[in-house]
Structures are given as C-alpha cells and as structure tokens.
Amino acid sequence: MMIERTLVLIKPDGVQRAVAGRIISRFEDVGLKLVAMKMVWVDEDFSKKHYAEHIEKPFYKGLESMITMGPVIAMTIEGVEAIALVRKMVGATEPKSSAPGTIRGDFAHVSYGYADEKGIGVKNLIHASADKKDAEIEVPLWFNDKEIHSYKTVHDAHILE
C-alpha cells in the first residue's frame, strides 16, 4: 500500500507562536488528509517514550524541557507516500540549514550552536515521523484506533481515485 500514515506534532514553540493554522494549511494544500488531531500537554514520562532514541544524548534535557513547556497539537496525516513527503515539507532539523520553502526554513532560523550554548532544544516548530518504522511506533503511541478517522475529502475524488 502506498497510502501511509505519519505522526506530526506542532511543538509548543509552534503553538505559542500561533502559526499552527498556517502549518496545517500547508499539509491541506498538497492534498494530504488529517485523520486524527488533538491538543496534548506532554509530561516528562511521555517525552521519554516519544523521544526514546534521544534520551542518552547531550541535548535531551533541553529537548524534554522544550516539548513539555506547553501543549502540542498532535496529528496523524494520511496520503500517498506521506511519511517522506511530510519530512520533505518539514525540512532539515537545524533551522539554520533547512531550505527556504520548508516549514522549518520558513518559520525558524536558529542553529544547533546557539541552542546548545543556551542548553535548550532547537526550537524548530514541528515533529514528523522519520520513516515507516518510526511512524508505525509513533502513530499508535499518540492515537488509539477510535481517534483515527476514515472519511473522504475532495482529494479522494480528484487525486486518489
């Protein structure tokens, strides 16, 4: 199946900067489908589950402070090869390096060097599952089956059928 589901988070910095609507619009504009959405204030335990691969890294403490500093908007997004497509739209992790036209490149600019000197996680607005393996872990970590909806959008008629 080429239709994939991927986990996307507007992180606390994105919510607090009030750019969530503009970010979500980008996914709607390319014809991707929102199949689940909620606002969640993550605690330290849940941060360790979501960012399990980073717990031992020097930047983890700052990352945990950042992801728990306010609510996130969590989404599951569905579409044709959606995992890689969403990562492309999100851009490189370090906003200093992410290309113009990507979400991180258009809405942020800081460097790893700056964040590390301050002891904070890089505030890059958004999280998206890195690959199929991560998406298969992250979507069920954030959403149960009842919270994920199947419905038709206009794109089903014009792009997918």
The nearer residue to Mg ion, 3 or 137, going by C-beta atoms, is 137
Half-sphere exposure of 32 (CA within 13 A, CB side): 28
Of Mg ion, ligand IDP, none, which one does residue 112 interact with (CB within 5 to 8 Å by kind)? ligand IDP
CB of 147 to ligand IDP, least distance (A): 23
Q: Is 127 a catalytic residue?
A: yes
Query: Which stretches of the chain bind ligand IDP, using CB under 6 A?
Result: 54, 59, 62-63, 93, 112, 115-116, 121-122, 124, 127, 130
Question: Per CB under 5 A, which of residues 115..134 are in contact with Mg ion?
Answer: 130
Q: Are 4 and 82 spatial neighbours (Cβ–Cβ below 8 Å)?
A: yes
Find out whether 92 and 52 touch, Cβ atoms under 8 Å.
Answer: no
**Which whole-number Å values give the CA distances from 152 to 16, 33, 38, 85, in the listed order?**
31, 9, 20, 20
Query: What single letter denotes the amino acid at residue 67?
Result: I
Which residue sits closest to Mg ion, CB atoms considered?
A: 130
Residues 6+ apart with CB under 8 A from 84: 131
Q: How far is the CB of 79 from ligand IDP (least distance, A)?
A: 19
* Nearest approach, Cβ of residue 146 and Mg ion (Å): 27
The active-site residue out of 50, 127, 149, 155 is 127
CB distance 109 to 41 below 8 Å: no
Name the site residues for Mg ion (rule: CB under 5 A).
130
What residues are labeled active site? Answer: 127
